[in-house]
Each structure stands twice: as structure tokens, then as C-alpha cells.
Chains A and B, each alone.
Chain A
């Protein structure tokens, strides 16, 4: 195969140049990357190297003739004929004095298109410069496809979306999605089971959280320091629930296939939003824990949940779940009871709202919605339980002195 060495374009504005020296004569053997001529323009002189191993067959432009960029200057008979394997990468012009330039433009073959296509097919070396549609480029990036292994079928050999279909790796980066799908399926099954099997009802109340805010403000510094992680309203609400459950042992019960079992400690689930769906780790023995201990436990479990490292032991045994969407602009909502549990407390945003005291005032309030399994408890008990929760939130200091009370259900 015969390769043409053409006048390179040295810089954007160059339109013509001349050969200043031929370093080889027809019949000479040339080695890949060996300088075979120098060209000169009005600005610069540049060495031109052979792109291949072979023989200089013919010189068509003599020294001193000014020719347009792209004009064939000489032809090289490539060693090993039509192998094509050595065609890429193309000749490099040795930058003898100035900036390096790509002189892929300096070679062309008499059958330029064929060579380009075959080199794309066999090596993909020139694909970096081949046309790739932005859509295909995006898809390749998303799927992690190496574009140099793709042959373009679009006009002019452009790589288009269709060309990538066969390159979608069979087992590659879709793994995470599969796990997510399973997680989703699990959540779906549990929720459907809940809706189908638990006769749930709900009660709700708006509470004045003024004192809770004051307590939070006074404790966040010292507890944050002691626990090494931030105190949150969720921690206060967990403790509130534990205290209220201690006072309402009728709610610290589970429906157990026809019988009711009384629990001896307060184990609470906490709904945690993760990138891969909701998880609900369990905090055990909350009624025994100081606030500081709750902060630590909660932080550890939510971290585990977010990293998908929850063990089975971390998620079992809760009597009910706390679901707090207070970080969103949600006034009130209704949770779905996790199968195997008795209630879910849904807490909306803590926000300043109108509040009727002796007069109409503005207070920080939140709306609590308690959903309960009617098999476990009736409406009156649910009402008493939620009322206690509301009382604890409005007089939250008891969660401090109440923190070392005995077991919840024992009394």
C-alpha cells in the first residue's frame, strides 16, 4: 500500500508551504518516525517524519516549490504491504523548534477512506478524532463504553446511539440498580402486607412545641459536645415516645397471630430516608437511655442505614416507628405501620403557626399523626397515648428526670 506524505498544516492560518530539504531519496528505506523531509513556511521550519516502515517510492514535489496544504509531496511503499496494522498512529512531525502539532494531516493514502475505516475497525486509533454524536458520547459515558471500540454507522462514519446498543456491557454497572430493585420490591411487599392485613386507624393532634424548642436550644450545645454528634429533634421525639409508652403500657404491645404480647422494654423504629429507599433501624431499650445515649445510638444506626450496612438485629423488635418529615415542608402526613409493629407516629414540620392560648398568638407547633393497629388497641387508648405524647412535648423537661425509670410494661 502506498501512503502519500502531504504538505502539513502548521498552525491554523497556514495555507501553503514548501519543501526545504529532502533527507531521503527514492528507493531509500525509511523507518517509522524517521525524519524524511523538512518543510518551511513564512513562519516556521518543521521536520516531517515517516508514519510507517517502508520504502520511499517517489518524490513528487521538489525543494523550493510552494504548494497548498494537503498536496502530496511523496509516496512511501509500506513494508509488509496491506497489513494496515502499522498505519496508526500517523506520522508525527518532530517539533524541531516550536509547539508540537498533530500532523495526522500529513498522511493520506490514495485510498484514504478505506484506510481510515480499516484503522478504525482494527485499532480504533483515530476514533478520538472521529465524529461522535453528543448523544452517543453521553450514552458511552453513562454506560462506561470505550468509544475506540465502536464503529460508527452514521453519515461520514459518525458514531451514533444505535452503534452503542451492542456494546452495552452484559454484566456491568447495572448491579447497583438490581439491588435497588430488590430493595424496592421488599418495601413494596411490606407496605402491601400492612395495608392488606392491619386494620389501622389514626388520630392526630397539633402541639405547642415552644418548650421543646427551648429545651432543644439549651441542650444542643452540651449534648452535641458530649455525644460527639448533633442533637436533633428526632432524638427528643424518640425520648418523648419512650416516656409516653412507659406511661401507657397498653400501647407497648404487639399483635401476635391471635394473642397480644406485652413488651418489657421500649424498642422504637426510626424511619430513615436513604438513597436506596426508606429503612427503619430499631433503637432498643430507649426508656433506659439518657438523651446523650439516644443521640449516639440514633447517629450510629442512621449512618449504618445510609451505608446499607444494617444487620437483621438492627431492624427487628420495634413496637412502633417514628417517622419525622419535619425537615420538609410537610404539615401533616400519615404513615403506614410496619407489619409486626403496632403503631407509627408521623411528625410534620415544626413551624410558627397561629395558636389559641387565652388569646390568639403565634407559636412553634407541629402536627402529630398516630396510626394504630386496631387489633392491639382501641380508639380511647390511642387517644390517651397521643395525648400523653402531646403533654410530654409541651412539658418536655420530664424526659430528663424520667430517663432512668424502670421497664415500661412491668408496672
Chain B
């Protein structure tokens, strides 16, 4: 089963009639294009993002419009790319560094964690690194351990980095524009499984502020806090659970840093139950962070233990059957939430 298809179908809801519907990848291109037109300091480098238009069509048409001077392919050298970006940012530009597969952000970790995130602090604010590091995470079609990872928590762990993980075309455009107006480094992580998904995106300009989670569906019995591809799976699970009388509220974090605690806490106050669904691993992940926030700031509101539904702790596989077992599925979400509610579904 291709998740991409499922997601595309889910997005094509009747309520979108009359509005312009484009893909997640197109929404990203549109956001970048608008900002590049507004801000001549923005340039875009990465592997295959020039004439080819990006591995996932995430930069399609930018090279044609802005030319080689502002949209340029680089060798396969993530650390060099990122170091170049940090330097250019210090010199007054606003680079977009596209790592493409986020697995390879690891090659650039020193530049990201030791340089980009710290310079604002160690220069007492005199130097800033307005740089967007763009990468695509998540597994599709069982591409194995080197092309499937969801390392967003690595970055959320580091002070000085903002981290966005959009789940809809609408959010991609609004958030990528906000990212490109930030004076400090932003890690912008799209999901490979969502690039083909479609949704309504206004043609006019809009921005989505960082630190504002979205209530993707409103409910009263249990709160599912999630992000990325798992938003759609959580919504699908919510629909199934609804039939058994379990009313699920789904919160799409949209940004991990800053984290919108208030929306989470308000929801928990209403529902009394927290489930965090994350495609990343549970251990020390954003799911642990959300659980800790709720346990320390809303313990008295909890009517049940907090549970986390995350990718099982093993490397991603090339085997489709094993990989779909590792990554949270709609069925698994339904089952674990049912158990939490003491219901048999």
C-alpha cells in the first residue's frame, strides 16, 4: 500500500471545492519563490536542486526564474554546503541549504550544532545566522536505514535552532515563508511521504507564526499530539475511533521549537488523556518532551497514563512488511488508544 495515495485521497475533501489545490511540494516552491522575489539576499544551494528541480520537485522552477547565481547545485558534501551557508549568513546573505534526505544532516552536524546555533550567543547577538536548512525526512517505500530517518528531535534538543515539521501544503507555504524571515537558523523538515499530497493553498501571501500548533480535529476524550505524516494517520485513526464513541482531538505541532505548550495543555485540560504519536523513535524524542511538559504542568488533569506511539526501536528496513510494522500505522494508533480508553475495538 502506498501511503502517499491514501494521504492524497484524504486531502481531496469536498470542502476544498472552489479553492486552489496544489501539492505539498508545490506549496514549498511557492513559499520559497515569494520570499526570493521579496528578498534578494536569499539564495538556494543543494544537491540536484538546480535544473533538476530537486529530488522531490521541492525546488522546481526556481533555477529557471532566479538563475545560477541564486539557485545552484553543489557537490555531495553536506558539511561543506552547511559551512558555506553559515559563512554566507554571517556575511549578510540568507541561504537556503537543502540537504534533501535528512539522514545526511548528520554529515553536517558539526556546522549546524557547533556553529549555526551558537554564533548568536557567543557573539553576544552581534552576529546572526539567518539560514534555513531544508531537508526531507520520513520513510516511504521502505528505503532502508539510510533514507528513512526522522531526526527532528536531534535539532529540537539544541538551543538556538528552530525546528518546523509541516504536515499540509497550507502549512508548508506559511511556515517556509516565516522560516525565511527568521534572523536565526531554522531547520525546516518536510516529509517525503507528503510531497505528493494535495491541499488548498491560497495564492495570496500569508505567514504562519512559529510556536502555534494546529488543532487538526477537535474532540473531548483523548488528545493525540503529533506531527508530520503522523497527523494524517492520527486523523484516520480518530475517524475509526469516533465510530466506537471515542472522541479524539488531534493536535499538529507544526513546530517543535518553539513548542506550543499552551495548546497542548488546554487540550489535556479538556480531555484528560495524552497520546503522542511520532514517527521518530520514542527514546529521548519530542514525544518524551511533550509527555514531560504535560506531566510537569498538567499532572492533575491527567485521567490516564501518558502513552507514546512511535517507530519501534530498530533501524528502518528495506523489507516493506517489517518497515510498516516499525512505523506507527493507523491500526496501531486505533488499538493503543482503544486500550487506553479501556475499550475493545
Binds B, one of A131-139, A224-232, A357-365: A131-139
User: B342 to A161, Cβ gap below 8 A?
Assistant: no
User: A154 to B300, Cβ gap below 8 A?
Assistant: no
Least Cβ distance of A73 to chain B in Å?
33
What B residues does A134 contact at CB under 8 A? 299-303
User: B303 to A133, Cβ gap below 8 A?
Assistant: yes
User: B300 to A160, Cβ gap below 8 A?
Assistant: no
Which B residue's beta carbon lies closest to that of A154?
Answer: B342
User: A161 to B339, Cβ gap below 8 A?
Assistant: no
What 1/0 flags go to B308-345 for Cβ under 8 Å of A? Answer: 00000000000000000000000000000001101000
Least Cβ distance of B299 to chain A in Å?
5
Q: Is the interface of A mostly helix, strand, loop or mixed?
A: helix
Q: Which residue in A135, A137, A153, A155 is a CB contact (below 8 Å) of B339?
A: A155
Known: A154-B304, A161-B303. A133 touches B272 (CB 8 A): yes
User: B303 to A153, Cβ gap below 8 A?
Assistant: no
A: number of interface residues (CB 8 Å):
12
Which A residue's beta carbon lies closest to that of B342?
Answer: A155
Least Cβ distance of A166 to chain B in Å?
16
What A residues does B302 contact at CB under 8 A? 133-135
Least Cβ distance of B335 to chain A in Å?
13
- Chain B residues in contact with chain A, CB under 8 A? 272, 299-304, 339-340, 342
A388 within 8 A of B: no
User: A160 to B303, Cβ gap below 8 A?
Assistant: yes
Which A residue's beta carbon lies closest to that of B343?
Answer: A155
Task: Tell me the complex Cα distance, A138–B299, Å.
Answer: 10
Total A-B residue pairs with C-beta atoms closer than 8 Å? 32
Least Cβ distance of A136 to chain B in Å?
6
Q: Which residue in B272, B299, B340 is a CB contact (below 8 Å) of A161?
A: B272
What B residues does A138 contact at CB under 8 A? 300-301
Least Cβ distance of B295 to chain A in Å?
9
From A134, A153, A154, A160, residue with most partner B Cβ within 10 Å: A134
A57 within 8 A of B: no
Chain A 121-163 residues near chain B, CB threshold 8 A: 133-138, 153-155, 158, 160-161
Task: Tell me the complex Cα distance, A134–B304, Å.
Answer: 8
Task: Tell me the complex Cα distance, A218–B342, Å.
Answer: 71
What A residues does B272 contact at CB under 8 A? 133, 135, 160-161
User: A136 to B340, Cβ gap below 8 A?
Assistant: no
Q: Which residue in B299, B301, B304, B339 is a CB contact (below 8 Å) of A160?
A: B304
Least Cβ distance of B138 to chain A in Å?
32
Q: Which residue in B299, B304, B339 is a CB contact (below 8 Å) of A158?
A: B304
7 nearest A-B pairs in the assembled complex, by CB-CB distance? A135-B303, A138-B300, A133-B303, A155-B342, A160-B303, A135-B272, A161-B303
Q: Which residue in A135, A154, A155 is a CB contact (below 8 Å) of B301?
A: A135
What A residues does B299 contact at CB under 8 A? 134
Task: Tell me the complex Cα distance, A92–B17, Å.
Answer: 71
What B residues does A154 contact at CB under 8 A? 303-304, 342
What 1/0 flags go to A161-175 for Cβ under 8 Å of B? Answer: 100000000000000
Known: A133-B272, A135-B272, A161-B272. A153 touches B301 (CB 8 A): no
What B residues does A135 contact at CB under 8 A? 272, 300-303
Task: Tell me the complex Cα distance, A328–B308, Å.
Answer: 47
- CB-defined A-B contacts under 8 Å, sample of 7: A133-B302, A133-B303, A134-B300, A134-B301, A138-B300, A155-B342, A161-B303
Task: Tell me the complex Cα distance, A161–B220, Å.
Answer: 13
Task: Tell me the complex Cα distance, A287–B226, Å.
Answer: 69
Task: Tell me the complex Cα distance, A138–B94, Å.
Answer: 51
User: B303 to A136, Cβ gap below 8 A?
Assistant: yes
What A residues does B339 contact at CB under 8 A? 155
Least Cβ distance of A221 to chain B in Å?
47
User: B340 to A155, Cβ gap below 8 A?
Assistant: yes
Task: Tell me the complex Cα distance, A153–B340, Å.
Answer: 12
Task: Tell me the complex Cα distance, A187–B226, Å.
Answer: 47
Task: Tell me the complex Cα distance, A134–B274, Å.
Answer: 13
What 1/0 flags go to A256-291 for Cβ under 8 Å of B? Answer: 000000000000000000000000000000000000
What A residues does B342 contact at CB under 8 A? 153-155
Least Cβ distance of A227 to chain B in Å?
46
What A residues does B300 contact at CB under 8 A? 134-135, 137-138
Chain A 292-337 residues near chain B, CB threshold 8 A: none
What B residues does A160 contact at CB under 8 A? 272, 303-304
From A135, A137, A158, A161, residue with most partner B Cβ within 10 Å: A135
Task: Tell me the complex Cα distance, A352–B301, Å.
Answer: 45
Task: Tell me the complex Cα distance, A162–B328, Å.
Answer: 29
What 1/0 flags go to A102-136 for Cβ under 8 Å of B? Answer: 00000000000000000000000000000001111
Least Cβ distance of B297 to chain A in Å?
12
